[in-house]
Amino acid sequence: MFLKGVTEKVDYFKSINVGAIWLSPIFKSPQDDFGYDISNYKMIDPLFGTMADFDRLRDAFHNNGIKVILDFVPNHTSDEHPWFTKSVDRMEPYTNYYVWKDAKYDKDGNRIPPNNWVRKEKVGPAWEWNEKRQQYYYHAFQVKQPDLNYRNPMVVEEIKNTILYWLGRGVDGFRFDAVNYLYEREDLEDEQKSNYPGAYDTDYSSLIHTNTLDQPETYQMVHLWRELFEEYSISEKTPNFFMVECYSPLNYTMLYYGNTTHPGAHFPFNFLFINSFNKQSDANQVYDMIKSWMLNMPEGKWANWVLGNHDNSRVGSRTHPLLVDGLHMMQLLLPGTPITYYADELGVGDTYVRWNQTVDPAGVNVGPFRYTQFSRDPARSPFPWDDSRNAGFTNASKTWLPVNPEYWHENMVELSKHKSHLRTYRQLSRLRQIPTIVKGDLHVYLLSKWVFGFSRYISTF
């Protein structure tokens, strides 16, 4: 079971000086999108264990000084969630828990969706007809992930109660998934064509998403959630933490911090190194990325640095294995919080996944000829613990995705023995605990096209 397995590895996390672990969704789910389709926000999915297993995990990590952060999905649920099935039946108070709209009809009388919006998972309309209700429902992601209607105060209250439930169970914080999708324009105006080269009309990249992303109401909702966290922290005398995911232009991303009178998230993820840094990047680009985040971040706010995650190619493959240590030096020694995707500390690269091994809906939906363009499976292979069968990840006969074939020498046990990305990462994680790195100022230097540097210091006057 996943939760028991993570609990057993607490000593490893402590050895690399982890301050908090962030678990991907563990809530009850049909697993059509690996837990990002939740059917019950207050239950643990049996695939991962039980609530008792979660409590033991929480206690084990807390006893070792490590916080526990949950991945929370506020934008949508599974279509198997009781809220949705009751909404289909127009059973009050659930009738308007989701975004339902009447059909339109073309000149020949054929039923068509309310507008031209397409879903994020690369191909197809963002509207699905429900025969029973005789309306379309909106889904920014998969068909089986209907969007919640945040214009309904009862939905807002349901999510608030869910947050409080998990805070009450000792969770230290949350990563809120895809917050920039929370609201859409009420008038359902069509989105403009992007004219993106090579994009099919049904591809997400075929449109400019000004009507479905980063709406003004979204920032207000993030502020309300921050108030909820602050109120709980004060009443229970315990700190908590709230970070949000949004792949948005930098000016929109910074708005998720809020301001002095209306604070937002503790921070929105900084995806500059994921979105902009690659094999062709030079020191100029590194300099610009760091300066742009630090200079655009509202005064008094906290930075963060993300090199990899479950939605993108691993840093060792996206850039180059020889750059991994240098990137970790920046990530762990710059001001703010470093967020490390599992096994990136080992320098592990992507795993090739054949079409008949593909499980990610983003790849499956586009078929065998384009799946490698969209599938996120290569970055999700099992953690290589040792050189035993299945890299020590499981004693089952088969893993859910293939193990990286380099596991026999690129594994945690082997890399702990000699000079490696893991040992460098461990040393950096110790270094970042000194006061100068924790709270010191930053100065960056661009020495040439290929040489970038920075210094951390504490001003004494």
Which residues belong to the active site?
Answer: 177, 245
Structural contact between residues 202 and 118, judged by C-beta atoms closer than 8 angstroms? yes
Q: Which position has the token pair 């982890």?
A: 18
**Which residues of 106-198 form beta strands (DSSP E)?**
111-112, 127-130, 135-138, 173-176
Structure tokens at 60: 């084990």
Structure tokens at 76: 């949508």
CA distance 455 to 445: 8
Structure tokens at 304: 């963060």
Residue 180 to residues 123, 246, 267, 293, 452: CA-CA distances in angstroms? 20, 6, 14, 19, 33
Q: Which position has the token pair 């760091």?
A: 290
In the chain, what's the furthest Cα-to-Cα distance?
Answer: 77
**Which residues of 108-245 form beta strands (DSSP E)?**
111-112, 127-130, 135-138, 173-176, 241-244
Selection from 167, 320, 340 nearest residue 240 by Cα? 167
Residue 338 phi/psi, 5-degree rounding, is -85, 135
Structure tokens at 92: 């009050």
